[in-house]
């Protein structure tokens, strides 16, 4: 047994670190060792419990109602509000869209109005549920253009969406105007606060200027907030709140159309581990309201220092003053953000490149955790070195022949041979191991993807994922 655990630890050593504050995407670290310890024990204690049937596992129901109640309190929910724990932000978004669609069986061709910056989870929901996304360009400040959003609402609109904040730029959409217009037309309005929902209420309590976005705003019908982000819970929990039980009802699924137990689910999963919920419950009660206030104070102070520090590097610019804990920066022509990201990884800092999109240049995304707040000076030191290295290296040059090859690819008909051809053209080994080993030296690949239009990026990365996920046979 020890051998198996030792093997697990050895494999895990190759992953980006979950703790220590040096990973600025994917993971959120409170820096509180005791909260992590309690959460780990809670997950382990409930790993085998099954949320399929709340009557068989009443403790899971008790924890769910408790966590939803705490979330209601945080987000100014009225006494009519209800909520559901899901597996993550994407599931919360999927269910918000599915519920909105199924509440309007009279609409033959349902549509949802999205700011162009809405999370990709809405595109996934569109794909799964056949709800057409109506994308509305954002303003120069990267916030949803409220007037244009309002103008896009029509009879077949079943949902209007705003983010608090958006992932890519970290700014809050004008929720009040958007929600009011949706309410006037009798349309649901979902606020995607998956990443900001557990920080912004504390930011407001700390006296920061946070525009209204919670259930305090008339017309907001549902809100998603992830516990596995800024509630610093282990992975696997988000909360989807609805203003009333009636609004939530279409989300529930029951089937007695078979000879076994009547399936009765509030979420997309049926059998689901009690581990994530127990981990979240334990985290919320260990950190507590005062603890979250303090963590928010730390992380927001860290963001201010980070923004000042980044702005002091001549080639870099923060693309939008952050409303929360997310920062995106771009670079001028003297260097390349993709090279900067690789250089940061070599220094033991994990940051996330974002490809160019529309009029937005490529950027580096940083989700700051409380654990990183005390390390900002160290981060900036590493960033200074990374920028110098990137200036030395110059912008990534994609071979013109390869660039032409990429531009000529048709995403609709991309074949395995095309993908092989591309790998050969860039001199890469297409085996799963070869592709996995790329992590940390991605600048050339990112520069190549950056040349491709979104549909081709999707096709290329799908081919990439297909190659990565091949069974290990003995
Ligand atoms: C605003 C927003 N919505 C939805 C999601 C999707 O969440 P998850 O990755 O937990 O599925 C994210 C993830 O970062 C997010 O930032």
Residues 456, 459, 461, CA angle at the centre, nearest 5°? 105
Ligand 1 pocket, 233 CB below 6 A? no
Q: Could you tell me if the CB of 88 is within 6 A of ligand 1?
A: yes
Q: Is the CB of 195 under 6 A from ligand 1?
A: yes
Instruction: Look at ligand 1, atom 5, and give the residue with the nearest C-alpha.
Output: 89
Question: How far apart are the CA of 388 and the centre of ligand 1, in A?
Answer: 32
> Global pTM?
0.97
Q: What does the pLDDT read at residue 416?
A: 87
Q: What is the pLDDT of residue 163?
A: 98
- In 3D space, the residue among 346, 245, 215, 231 whose CA is nearest the CA of residue 299 turns out to be 231
- Which has the closest alpha carbon to 283: 46, 459, 460, 457? 46
pLDDT at 428: 76
Query: To test ligand 1's pocket by mutation, which of 96, 120, 121 has the most ligand atoms within 8 angstroms of CB?
Result: 121
The span from the CA of 66 to the CA of 81, in Å, is: 13
What is the CA(195)–ligand 1 centre distance, in A?
Answer: 6
CB 170 within 8 A of CB 323: yes
User: For residue 307, with 0-12 CB atoms within 10 Å meaning exposed, 13-18 middle and 19 or more buried, which class applies?
Assistant: middle
**Which atom belonging to ligand 1 lies closest to the Cα atom of 88?**
10
Q: How far apart are CA 318 and CA 370, in angstroms?
A: 20
Burial 391-408 (b: 16+ CB within 10 A, else e): bebebbebeeebbebbee
DSSP state of 362: P
* Predicted pLDDT at 435: 65
Give the atom of ligand 1 at the shortest distance from the alpha carbon of 193: 1
- Ligand 1 atom showing the smallest separation from residue 89 Cα: 7
**Mutation choice for ligand 1 from 93, 124, 195, 352, CB with most ligand atoms inside 8 A:** 195
Report the nearest atom of ligand 1 relative to the CA of 118. Answer: 1
Q: Is the CB of 149 under 6 A from ligand 1?
A: no
pLDDT at position 432, please? 63
Q: Please indicate whether residue 171, judged by its CB atom, sits closer than 6 Å to ligand 1.
A: no
pLDDT one digit per residue (tens) for the chain, 474 residues = 579 999 999 999 999 999 999 999 999 999 999 999 999 999 999 999 999 999 999 999 999 999 999 999 999 999 999 999 999 999 999 999 999 999 999 999 999 999 999 999 999 999 999 999 999 999 999 999 999 999 999 999 999 999 999 999 999 999 999 999 999 999 999 999 999 999 999 999 999 999 999 999 999 999 999 999 999 999 999 999 999 999 999 999 999 999 999 999 999 999 999 999 999 999 999 999 999 999 999 999 999 999 999 999 999 999 999 999 999 999 999 999 999 999 999 999 999 999 999 989 999 999 999 999 999 999 999 999 999 999 999 999 888 988 988 888 999 999 888 888 888 877 776 666 666 666 657 898 999 999 999 999 999 999 999 999 999 999
Q: In whole angstroms, give the CA distance from residue 117 to residue 134.
A: 12
Please indicate whether residue 200, judged by its CB atom, sits closer than 6 Å to ligand 1.
no
Which residues have C-beta within 8 Å of that of residue 441, sequence separation ≥ 6? 342
Max Cα distance, the chain (Å): 68
Q: Ligand 1: distance of its center to the CA of 366 in Å?
A: 14
The pLDDT of residue 407 is: 86
Residue 115 Cα to ligand 1 middle (Å) = 15
Strands 263-265 and 316-318: unpaired
Q: In angstroms, rounded to a whole number, what is the distance separating the alpha carbons of residues 162 and 173?
A: 6
């Amino acid at each position: 047994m020890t051998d198996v655990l030792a093997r697990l630890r050895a494999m895990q050593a190759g992953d980006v670190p979950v703790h220590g504050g040096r990973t600025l995407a994917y993971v959120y670290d409170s820096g509180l060792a005791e909260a992590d310890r309690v959460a780990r024990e809670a997950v382990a204690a409930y790993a085998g419990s099954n949320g399929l049937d709340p009557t068989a596992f009443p403790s899971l129901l008790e924890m769910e109602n408790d966590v939803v109640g705490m979330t209601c309190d945080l987000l100014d929910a009225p006494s009519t509000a209800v909520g559901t724990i899901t597996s993550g932000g994407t599931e919360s978004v999927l269910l918000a869209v599915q519920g909105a669609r199924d509440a309007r069986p009279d609409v033959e061709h349902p549509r949802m109005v999205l700011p162009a910056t809405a999370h990709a989870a809405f595109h996934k929901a569109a794909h799964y549920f056949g709800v057409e996304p109506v994308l509305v360009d954002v303003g120069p400040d990267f916030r949803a253009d409220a007037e244009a959003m309002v103008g896009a609402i029509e009879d077949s609109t079943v949902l209007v969406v705003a983010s608090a904040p958006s992932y890519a730029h970290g700014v809050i959409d004008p929720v009040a105007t958007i929600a009011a217009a949706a309410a006037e037309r009798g349309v649901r309005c979902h606020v995607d606060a998956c990443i900001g929902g557990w920080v912004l209420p504390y930011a407001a309590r700390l006296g920061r200027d946070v525009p209204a976005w919670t259930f305090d705003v008339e017309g907001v019908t549902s809100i998603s907030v992830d516990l596995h982000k800024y509630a610093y819970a282990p992975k696997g929990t988000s909360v989807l709140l609805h203003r009333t039980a009636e609004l939530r009802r279409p989300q529930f699924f029951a089937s007695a159309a078979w000879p076994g137990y009547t399936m009765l689910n509030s979420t997309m999963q049926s059998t689901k581990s009690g581990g994530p919920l127990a981990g979240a419950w334990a985290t919320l009660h260990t950190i507590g309201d005062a603890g979250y206030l303090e963590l928010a104070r730390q992380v927001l102070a860290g963001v201010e220092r980070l923004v000042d520090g980044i702005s002091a590097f001549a080639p870099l610019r923060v693309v939008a003053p952050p409303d929360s804990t997310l920062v995106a920066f771009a670079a001028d022509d003297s260097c390349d953000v993709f090279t900067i990201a690789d250089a940061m990884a070599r220094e033991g800092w994990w940051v996330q490149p974002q490809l160019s999109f529309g009029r937005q240049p490529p950027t580096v995304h940083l989700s700051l955790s409380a654990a990183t707040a005390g390390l900002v000076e160290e981060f900036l030191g590493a960033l200074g070195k990374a920028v110098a290295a990137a200036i030395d290296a110059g912008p990534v040059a994609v071979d013109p022949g390869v660039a032409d090859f990429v531009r000529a690819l048709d995403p609709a008909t991309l074949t395995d041979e095309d993908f092989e051809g591309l790998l050969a053209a860039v001199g890469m080994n297409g085996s799963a191991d070869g592709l996995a080993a790329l992590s940390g030296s991605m600048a050339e690949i990112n520069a190549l993807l950056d040349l491709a239009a979104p549909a081709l990026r999707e096709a290329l990365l799908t081919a990439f994922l297909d190659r990565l996920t091949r069974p290990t046979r003995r």
